[in-house]
A and B are shown apart, each in its own frame.
Chain A
């Protein structure tokens, strides 16, 4: 019997694993392998031009032709499959002759005079040298042409060096699934074109730069605005450092190319390396990092004028020189955000949306428009580190001792590393004795976390992005505009759809993915629970639920089944506006899967019913058993690059690292021991959350803020701004003098991601290491240094010198990070849980059990509750807020990036064509948007994406700050504000209207009519 099996195996082995000889070396490769793949496995370098890993094989350059036994013709190694007994000669005389001829022909239309003597500048020229092809031209063929991108601030073309390998075309259409580039014309006139008319904007270009990455000659290349490079110096950075993109939660790995202390270019890792991004980036990652070297970077600590050191103590003395009583205790010679929002802006001299904004456009250098205004510096003087840290220590100690530890609070940062977040919470817990520690997770996924904690005791995504891309049959995306907010993941989803996965998108806007989706559930904002209950209702009615999963892995199903009973698709249609037939179709598609992944983001969470909404989604996931299998991922898509890690490291008020409750004395004891403080120094009281801290009547009197800008990001900004003005002490550690930092007593200049070592956790629980590429500007210090210094000044033991050391302590107190060290994080990083030093990480969770006491998840019945503020006669529009592709959060970084800001220089509101027509608003016209809380003026963008009576305002602009309008209604569990729904009215701005509007707003806005 055994021998039969063996024989069978040997047979199938022979059948499926051909043995062949390449250049005299014998090898075995699986059937379907190409000669090129087999040769690469043997480290035999067959030259290629059009071939690029993972791109569709087109075999058009004809340079990889090799000789194969029994074949009179040369065959393309890139496309020809291996066969048993094949003998391949990769450098046969015929193959070499063909290569020389191909290279020679390409050189005929190439600027040969630019090729360095005896050297080469790019892949193509390397091959020219390798095959000793003469670089003298023999024909009179004209140089190659193609669409140029004149004046483009990010991507440049020099099509005279194009060799028409079409890598860019395929990268654009098959990796990024955009399809801007193509080959036009035929014969000698063939050339690469940008869309139909040469305008990348019209063709839907997203400036991701994938074309730049794959181009083998530099015909398509990038410019980093701060260091424009001629094509011939492009490939000569002095060093290259691996880092992690500081923007979204995809956590793309990037390579920073350095010359001297300058970051000259960002490239992406080789496509075959295992990185969460497969080496792709979006526009922000590749072209948006020049903020690092922006002239606004703080290079010295700043202390507010008025603070003076007398008798060894810092005192506030309004008589101190430079202090102006006019500004108040904490103000300055600037307009508050509210007033910026109400300022009558000059009508743009031309339509700011079209034509395409290029560098030489009349807007001038965008850096001048978004820089820190000079007068913001007026209330400050430069100080030494010693002075600054001494003042902070004195004030923190003073408030702690006089008003109690809970009079202090800190905001940690989802932009900072795990180590920094850990140190800051350690400082506040051990040094101050308060749990008032929070960060912007409160404003993004806190409701997801509270729902997931309640239902399955977890706080992170269960699966990985690559399983969604490669394995899911159905992808259900709710309230997530991935192609703009997480573009690299968005592209992966588009690739998944090309592979055959079905897409269901629930979103009030017809965003890119919604337009592509198999089913778009365009619901009325805030009616998500009704929709989700409706889906589950239909699934149960059809008997499509996963009864085995429900029985063995969950509690509470009966209650939920009863709760969704009334939510028939027809009833859900009445509430959500989504046709019942679509609800039924989506429900069946999702439940039938078989592998369905569930993705969501801010569109679900930022509601006063955020926790309920996510809970109703989790009910759907659990009832259908769409979790705990490879291909069925549950994934809250994380916004910031380290929002997951900051929470994991304890920068939230209720828990230490790994979500260990602060209320548990045993856990407290463990931390006290490691931190070297008595147990009772650590509070057993859960701390206050962002939205409880920044609130009239909150007990907090002094704050330390690291890398956050709550004055733009909190709801109802005008109240937030007033609250910060009233603080007794405020210290801010940041890269720039932000809208928040300008109210500080002390501002500490920190280091950007490129200037320090640190680890970050992406949306799939992947801990990745970013290395230091350059020195911070001036006296700015790595944030770890600042925090360690402060920790010691606060009298807490801190036995570390660097980030790697901090990670050792994190691992020692964080069970699911136990096996994490910096040494192990090279390459793709590790997906936690990492149980010990040998454990390789966990790509997906909950195979078999949930981390609850009995291993089962709980379904929680929820009922639909409308948004807190609905449109009415006075405020007839729904207002939605969110991100744009080219900007990031409060704009601190992206608005200081030349390329990004030139793409979106002006705040715009998306408004439907019909509404605009009715109000006589044209594209680019200024409009005034008013809610019960405030008013802004902003340019209209007529958009087919928003439904009637809905508008979308991006959150990035201080001059039209969306959060002046948003409703601070909070979710009762997670305290997340309702950023996604409020009622507003919209009116075109004409001279006298604008005046009246201001009058109407009453005493709150006092502007002179001529105010500009």
Chain B
């Protein structure tokens, strides 16, 4: 894990301001940087008031689905006599996404503070941070920070001396992408197989241990303290395009691009400037061929589409894809699309929890076909089969992993059909001799 790049002039570093600043890791360091003011403030507020600030701010979930956070919190009814839970989804395993990792590595107290505020706001005394098992450094950072917070009385039965109870536990994942799905994550915490559950009931009604539960992404929760101290109006102003998309968002950039890394921009930022100006454009002598803007689960964009995109929830949809988790994967003209799509499919086939017929069988089947086409053994019929399977895999399963597997395939065949056909007619990969990946 590298060291973060210097903040670019056009970035808006709200969450990433202290990335790379190892003094921000400790409780004292964090407090010097304004930490835990928000929590102190929150614990003095009515939970409903906090939820209102969040609603007002327009913050939307950064885990992929973009659900308004304030609204999600408002589904919880503090004082209904049941135990409530907050889960923080830190299982970040989406290929191409590595922003939560950086938040946990550099600003663990931001996350803990966000979790504590969130717990209090939804009437939960217990919060679980479910951290991806492979994340050894973030696990250590959050673990240390948590220890400090408890020792300093920030958390526990008398959080910050207010008499309110906030307990936070770390649950370490065991290497399954699917456990990032919210209900699979709850099953996993409960000690069950990490299978997503059928919804409804939604977690706010019956979540962890069957009790009302809210689940949020790391980035979502880390933004909460900032919103609380600076106010909803302040946050709402971060908006360059659609008023439904407010705030700053971290994008993880990787692939065939000059300056990969995490960049924080105001939502609505032009994707073209982002790619070419901030991230330095393609590698010397190369051209962009395809961009996956939101992690491996979203449809693939052509460079034309990408360049026309404004980076917010609506903007990516308007250009044939989705914001997803903000994992931007860039491919240049040296890459074989069939191979890449096959790799994505293989990932989903491997990670399918295998409950749903369409997902279990479909992901394995499309992977077989894609690998066959890539190896030169495909037929034109295979393309129809792929599209037929993808259609049957979309919108019919318990969670959207199956859809996620289909999305790159459908968009890939639509937008790069010639490459598939070249493999089939030439009975080999036209790029094989030059292929790098």
| Distance (whole angstroms) from the CB of A163 to the closest CB of chain B | 8
Q: Are A187 and B363 also in contact (CB < 8 A) when A62-B396, A81-B200 are?
A: yes
Taking CB as reference atom, which chain A residue is nearest B197?
A58
Query: Please, how many angstroms separate the alpha-carbon atoms of A81 and B395 in the complex?
Result: 18
| Distance (whole angstroms) from the CB of B78 to the closest CB of chain A | 25
Query: Please, how many angstroms separate the alpha-carbon atoms of A98 and B364 in the complex?
Result: 18
Query: B residues within 8 A CB of A59?
Result: 198, 398
Taking CB as reference atom, which chain A residue is nearest B397?
A62
Is B385 at the interface (CB under 8 A from chain A)? yes
Q: Mark A98-109, 1 if CB is under 8 A from B, else 0.
A: 100110011011
Query: Please, how many angstroms separate the alpha-carbon atoms of A182 and B193 in the complex?
Result: 9
Is A1009 at the interface (CB under 8 A from chain B)? no
B350 touches A105 (CB 8 A): no
B357 touches A63 (CB 8 A): yes
Is B270 at the interface (CB under 8 A from chain A)? no
Taking CB as reference atom, which chain A residue is nearest B196?
A60
What DSSP secondary structure best describes chain A's contact surface?
loop
A187 touches B198 (CB 8 A): no
Query: A residues within 8 A CB of B240?
Result: none
Taking CB as reference atom, which chain A residue is nearest B177?
A186
| Distance (whole angstroms) from the CB of A929 to the closest CB of chain B | 43
Q: Mark A171-182, 1 if CB is under 8 A from B, else 0.
A: 000000000001
Is A190 at the interface (CB under 8 A from chain B)? yes
A108 touches B354 (CB 8 A): no
Query: A residues within 8 A CB of B358?
Result: 62, 101-102, 105
Query: Please, how many angstroms separate the alpha-carbon atoms of A182 and B194 in the complex?
Result: 13
What DSSP secondary structure best describes chain B's contact surface?
helix
Query: Please, how many angstroms separate the alpha-carbon atoms of A61 and B392 in the complex?
Result: 13
Q: Are A73 and B363 also in contact (CB < 8 A) when A62-B357, A81-B200, A106-B357 are?
A: no
Is B55 at the interface (CB under 8 A from chain A)? no
B352 touches A60 (CB 8 A): no
A186 touches B363 (CB 8 A): no
Q: Are A65 and B198 also in contact (CB < 8 A) when A106-B361, A186-B178 are?
A: no
Tally of A interface residues using CB under 8 Å: 37
Q: Are A187 and B350 also in contact (CB < 8 A) when A59-B398, A79-B198, A139-B365 are?
A: yes
| Distance (whole angstroms) from the CB of A906 to the closest CB of chain B | 37
Query: B residues within 8 A CB of A187?
Result: 349-352, 354, 360, 363-364
A61 touches B395 (CB 8 A): no
A105 touches B396 (CB 8 A): no
A73 touches B396 (CB 8 A): yes
Q: 8 Å CB contacts to A: which residues of B232-288?
A: none
B396 touches A65 (CB 8 A): yes
Q: 8 Å CB contacts to B: which residues of A578-620?
A: none
Q: 8 Å CB contacts to A: which residues of B162-218?
A: 176, 178, 193, 195, 198, 200
Q: Choose among A79, A141, A187 the residue with the greatest number of B CB atoms under 10 Å from its CB.
A: A187
| Distance (whole angstroms) from the CB of A520 to the closest CB of chain B | 24
Q: Are A98 and B200 also in contact (CB < 8 A) when A186-B176, A187-B354 are?
A: no
Q: Are A98 and B392 also in contact (CB < 8 A) when A187-B360, A190-B360 are?
A: yes
Q: How many of chain B's residues touch chain A, expressed as a range?
A: 20 to 34
Q: Mark A858-892, 1 if CB is under 8 A from B, else 0.
A: 00000000000000000000000000000000000
B392 touches A60 (CB 8 A): no
| Distance (whole angstroms) from the CB of A168 to the closest CB of chain B | 15
Query: Please, how many angstroms separate the alpha-carbon atoms of A649 and B407 in the complex?
Result: 72
Query: A residues within 8 A CB of B353?
Result: 186
Is A188 at the interface (CB under 8 A from chain B)? yes
Is B427 at the interface (CB under 8 A from chain A)? no
| Distance (whole angstroms) from the CB of B34 to the closest CB of chain A | 43
| Distance (whole angstroms) from the CB of A107 to the closest CB of chain B | 9
A141 touches B364 (CB 8 A): yes
Query: Please, how many angstroms separate the alpha-carbon atoms of A283 and B369 in the complex?
Result: 46
Q: 8 Å CB contacts to A: which residues of B323-375?
A: 349-358, 360-365, 368-369
Q: 8 Å CB contacts to B: which residues of A164-202?
A: 164, 166, 182-183, 185-190
Query: Please, how many angstroms separate the alpha-carbon atoms of A183 and B195 in the complex?
Result: 11
Is A74 at the interface (CB under 8 A from chain B)? yes
| Distance (whole angstroms) from the CB of B354 to the closest CB of chain A | 3
Query: B residues within 8 A CB of A81?
Result: 200
A141 touches B361 (CB 8 A): yes
Query: Please, how many angstroms separate the alpha-carbon atoms of A183 and B353 in the complex?
Result: 10
| Distance (whole angstroms) from the CB of B175 to the closest CB of chain A | 11
B395 touches A73 (CB 8 A): yes
Is A138 at the interface (CB under 8 A from chain B)? yes
Is A140 at the interface (CB under 8 A from chain B)? yes
Query: Please, how many angstroms separate the alpha-carbon atoms of A880 and B17 in the complex?
Result: 73
Query: A residues within 8 A CB of B195?
Result: 58, 60
Q: Please give 9 more A-B residue pairs, beta carbons under 8 A apart, in addition to A60-B355, A61-B357, A74-B395.
A: A98-B396, A102-B358, A105-B357, A105-B358, A105-B365, A186-B351, A186-B353, A187-B363, A188-B364
Give A contacts to B, CB under 8 Å.
Answer: 57-63, 65, 72-74, 76, 79, 81, 97-98, 101-102, 105-106, 108-109, 138-141, 163-164, 166, 182-183, 185-190
Give B contacts to A, CB under 8 Å.
Answer: 176, 178, 193, 195, 198, 200, 349-358, 360-365, 368-369, 385, 388-389, 392, 395-398
